[in-house]
Amino acid sequence: MKKFLPFLAILVFLAGIDASAAKGVYQTQTDFLREVFAGEVPDAKLIWLTGDLRKAATEILQHKPARLRLRYWAKGARSAWVLEEIGKEQPITVGIVINHGKIESLRVLAFRESRGDEVRHDFFTRQFRQAELKADLQLSNSIDGISGATLSVRALQKLARLALYLDQSRN
């Protein structure tokens, strides 16, 4: 048994590294907005989630929104949204850029779960590019899931749909 203790200690150590490796802030909101607007970030605007907007947001998120108002930044037909949704237990912060009613880019800014951070990689997020919102509030693009990250995938899909809906409503 004593000869297995060092091996067991290494396994416990590696398991701890794996669980904490998924968590992280990959880009701050400020840096995201500077990048999106080439350093000239427009003033933040507010959209109030009341009436039909709140009803649609509740349908998209499958729960009532946590806030009554959301900030966004816009210049012409281009808007940027920084939204959060719970993955399994913790919020995932996502930056979404919409241009002419289509997703230009989607980026995970902060991930707080212990698993499922694969959604932050370009191989996954590029599936959202050029997605539009259909009349049934679903995405026009089919998004492939990731084994072991199902709840994170769902959270990003909800946020993409919400951002597209809110962008339509801001006009």
Tens digit of each residue's pLDDT (9 = 90 or more) over 100-156? 999 999 999 999 998 999 999 999 999 999 999 999 999 999 999 999 899 999 999
pTM above 0.75, yes or no: yes
If you compute the radius of gyration of the chain from its CA atoms, what whole number of angstroms results? Answer: 18
In a domain, 130, yes or no: yes
Our count of domains for the chain comes to 1
Residue 43 lies in a domain: yes
Within-domain flag for 159 = yes
Query: Domain for residue 57, yes or no?
Result: yes
The pLDDT assigned to 90 comes to: 95
Position 2 in a domain: no
In a domain, 122, yes or no: yes
Q: How many helices (H) and strands (E) does the chain have?
A: 5, 6
For the chain, what percent of residues have pLDDT higher than 90? 83
Q: Which domain holds residue 132?
A: 24-169
In a domain, 1, yes or no: no
In a domain, 67, yes or no: yes
Helix H or strand E segment including 24: strand 24-25
Of 12-16, 48-52, 103-107, the one with minimum mean pLDDT is 12-16
